């Protein structure tokens, strides 16, 4: 175990649903990340939070809404998704600031299927 | 602009033989370089990194990688492959002062018994 947990592990949702992904880290880190992993494509960085402030938003559609209430928890709120949003969503954490040479610790991911 | 290339989608190697997984990168400043491994239904696990200093970096599970600035490469190596090394390997780079960590598309390593 890496010290980063994600729930749920699997999620199937319709395009009109609203759901949330949860990430929790027990490593004392101050930076947290959301990534999207699709088959045959590089991992796509979606959001970066450092000390609970969003420091990076990589042109992610507004149907994805992150929330970082404290340094241990990160959420990804989902609404009106499209089938192409189906992917593995990975959460990661690292010491802060994120622009240094710290490695990231990843959770097991949430496999999202949009029907 | 930052980018990472892993030229091989698949690498097959016999158990006990040395293995190499290739990675080249492009950054505008000085690179921070990482290797991660992903087993089925799992997140990515950190293997090793190059930040500065000695070009040969040793990491977990007997893996090592060599930073070559002139060739902009950071190939992952292991002297003797194990069947349990079979997994998906990702190279990643961060430019100095940047928040983004750019990943390659991954190389699937299969170690044949």
pLDDT score for B41: 79
Q: Quote the percentage of chain A above a pLDDT of 90.
A: 72
The reply to whether residue B99 touches residue A48, judged by beta carbons under 8 angstroms, is: yes
Q: Specify whether the backbone of B96 is left (phi greater than 0), alpha (psi in -120 to 50) or beta.
A: beta
Q: pLDDT band at residue A97, thresholds of 50, 70 and 90?
A: confident
Q: pLDDT band at residue B68, thresholds of 50, 70 and 90?
A: very high
Structure tokens at B4: 């990472």
**B36, B41, B43 member nearest A107 (Cβ):** B43
**Residues of B at the A interface, defined by Cβ within 8 angstroms:** 4, 32, 34, 36, 41-46, 49, 51-52, 90, 92, 94, 96-106
Shortest Cα distance from A30 to chain B (angstroms)?
Answer: 13
> Do A97 and A84 form a contact (C-beta atoms < 8 A)?
no
Shortest Cα distance from B58 to chain A (angstroms)?
Answer: 15
The reply to whether residue B94 touches residue A99, judged by beta carbons under 8 angstroms, is: yes
A60/B contact by beta carbon, under 8 A? no
More confidently predicted of A76 and B42: A76
| DSSP 8-class letter at B29 | S
Name the residue with tokens 């002062």: B97
Interface of A with B in 35-54 (CB under 8 A): 40-43, 45, 48, 50
Q: Is the pLDDT of residue A53 over 90?
A: no
Q: pLDDT band at residue B99, thresholds of 50, 70 and 90?
A: confident
Q: Quote the percentage of chain B above a pLDDT of 70.
A: 100
How far is the C-alpha of B89 from the C-alpha of B61, rounded, in Å? 13
Q: Is the pLDDT of residue B6 over 90?
A: yes
Range name among A93-107, B4-18, B58-72 with the lowest pLDDT average:
A93-107
**A56, A92, A105 member nearest B99 (Cβ):** A56
Shortest Cα distance from A87 to chain B (angstroms)?
Answer: 13
């Amino acid at each position: 175990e890496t010290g980063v947990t994600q729930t749920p592990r699997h999620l199937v949702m319709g395009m009109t649903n609203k759901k949330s992904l949860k990430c929790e880290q027990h490593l004392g880190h101050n930076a947290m990340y959301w990534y999207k992993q699709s088959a045959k494509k590089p991992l796509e960085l979606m959001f970066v939070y450092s000390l609970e402030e969003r420091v990076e938003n990589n042109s992610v559609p507004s149907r994805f809404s992150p929330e970082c209430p404290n340094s241990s928890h990160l959420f990804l709120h989902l609404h009106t998704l499209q089938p192409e949003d189906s992917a593995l969503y990975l959460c990661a954490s690292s010491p802060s600031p994120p622009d240094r040479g710290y490695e990231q610790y990843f959770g097991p991911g949430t496999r999202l299927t949009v029907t | 602009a930052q980018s990472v290339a892993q030229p091989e989608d698949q690498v097959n190697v016999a158990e006990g033989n040395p293995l190499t997984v290739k990675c080249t990168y492009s950054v505008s400043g000085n690179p921070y370089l990482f290797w991660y491994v992903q087993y089925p239904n799992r997140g990515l696990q950190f293997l090793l990194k190059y930040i500065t200093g000695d070009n040969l970096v040793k990491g977990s599970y007997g893996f090592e990688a060599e930073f070559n600035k002139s060739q902009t490469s950071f190939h992952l190596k292991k002297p003797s492959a194990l069947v349990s090394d079979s997994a998906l390997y990702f190279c990643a780079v961060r430019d100095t002062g940047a928040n983004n960590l750019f990943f390659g598309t991954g190389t699937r390593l299969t170690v044949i018994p």
